[in-house]
A and B are shown apart, each in its own frame.
Chain A
């Protein structure tokens, strides 16, 4: 229960930061995708189900505020969360390489799907431009933020796990 409440606040806080603080801290109009970091890391840290739920909520928030149709971003984030969940079995907390690779891949997949569905279908064919201008900078910035954010998520989870274990001991 406690874990769910914390998770809820983590999602809200990252959404708020992504839409306010990181919009101000943009580089050349590009801001990082915190929701992908959260979705992917909860996916491979816990399991498929957790990733799916987190992704669904993150996507739904994006949909309500910035989407044209409800459920579009939710679907993308949902599958990214689920896909990251399959890597749970080869995830080790101390290894930061796997998270970085997974988050970068997730962000690329997300951006690529966005490009295909939101731009290519409206006959914007210059993929190389969008790759250079939006997709690649976003991945780099997201990875940069991940390096600092990921240890925080890890630390948060460890403390939550520790307190939960202590609670059980008392009971």
Chain B
């Protein structure tokens, strides 16, 4: 027992209250620097990129492999049942299909109007895997396995399955942090296709539970906007590229001021089961140039 105590005494050590003070000062200084100077800790980002991200990558790879195997086993029985159902559906669908062919003609005309199709496929995209999620339970941000080394940069838009997921807010050499649109501190300027009115889509933890996102400040005096309408990113947003699908309106309420409307929309992306995302390799600023 005694040698251990002796060794400790010989070493120089700072009293704990001073250490607390020093570390507090460091924290406050760091907060001040990052808040006021907009300095995005790139050396630290690089360091943790090499220490932590390889571990996260490995663990999530193993985890995905296991969960895929488990899913496969469970799904086999379901798939057999589904197969019978689907055969019945095919018959129904062939009838519907003929009707839809006519609708499609109309749709392609409308598409041309909005130039949705070209804008989407025109951007160069790169696939990335989600390797980790926010450790806390308050926000819905996640880490992807690509970073500046793969040509990504802050403010690039992230999509999945044809819908908007979010944008990159922080980056390291081999990782990037994505802020999802359903996040409580996320606001997206968007536009409803039916009337081309712009409004704000605001994420909320309270609505996240229901699987919807809130929207507000919609001015729609003629009541043109209805449930089921498509909502896309607006052309006046300075972070998001225009005309990326966000979701479909599921609820509209008149605000108490009788001028604006607010409500909920169902996102086009399934945020609960997100594994792979596409990053658009262009930011809004670059597109403008």
> Which residue numbers of A lie inside 8 Å of B, CB to CB?
12-13, 15-21, 23-24, 29-31, 33-35, 47-49, 52-53, 56, 59-66, 68-72, 74-75, 78, 82, 85, 111, 114-115, 118-119, 122, 124, 126, 129-130, 133-134, 137-138, 164-165, 168
Contacts and interface: CB of A to CB of B under 8 A. Distances in A.
Contacts of A59: 27
A66 B141 contact: yes
Contacts of A47: 16
Given A20-B56, A56-B23, 8 more contacts: A16-B132, A29-B208, A52-B20, A61-B48, A66-B134, A69-B34, A71-B28, A119-B138
A19 B58 CA distance: 12
Given A12-B52, A33-B136, A61-B48, A49 B16 contact: yes
A138 B137 contact: yes
B93 to A, nearest CB: 35
Contacts of A64: 41, 44-45, 48
A23 B24 CA distance: 30
Interface stretch (B59-67, B100-108, B157-165): B59-67
B138 A20 contact: no
B177 A70 contact: no
Nearest to A77: B27
Contacts of B63: 20-21, 24
11 contacts: A15-B135, A35-B135, A49-B13, A65-B135, A66-B134, A69-B30, A74-B27, A124-B205, A133-B205, A134-B138, A165-B4
Q: Is the interface of B mostly helix, strand, loop or mixed?
A: helix
Contacts, number: 149
A67 to B, nearest CB: 9
A35 B137 CA distance: 13
B193 to A, nearest CB: 30
Given A65-B48, A71-B31, A133 B209 contact: yes
Contacts of B135: 15, 18-19, 31, 33-35, 62, 65-66
Interface residues of B, number: 50
Interface string B8-24: 00000110100110011
Interface in B56-100: 56, 59-60, 63, 67
A13 B59 CA distance: 10
Contacts of A19: 56, 132-135, 143
A29 B208 CA distance: 10
B26 interface: yes
B131 interface: yes
B262 to A, nearest CB: 15
A62 B3 contact: no
Contact of B139 (A16, A49, A56, A66): A66
B29 interface: yes
A20 B23 contact: no
B179 to A, nearest CB: 9
**Shortest beta-carbon contacts, A-B, top 4:** A71-B30, A19-B132, A71-B27, A75-B27
Count chain A CB atoms within 10 A of each CB in B29, B137, B185, B205 and give the residue with the most: B137
Contact of B52 (A56, A61, A124, A130): A61
Nearest to A118: B138
Contacts of B114: none
Given A20-B59, A20-B131, A70 B31 contact: yes
Nearest to A23: B133
Contacts of A124: 184, 205-206
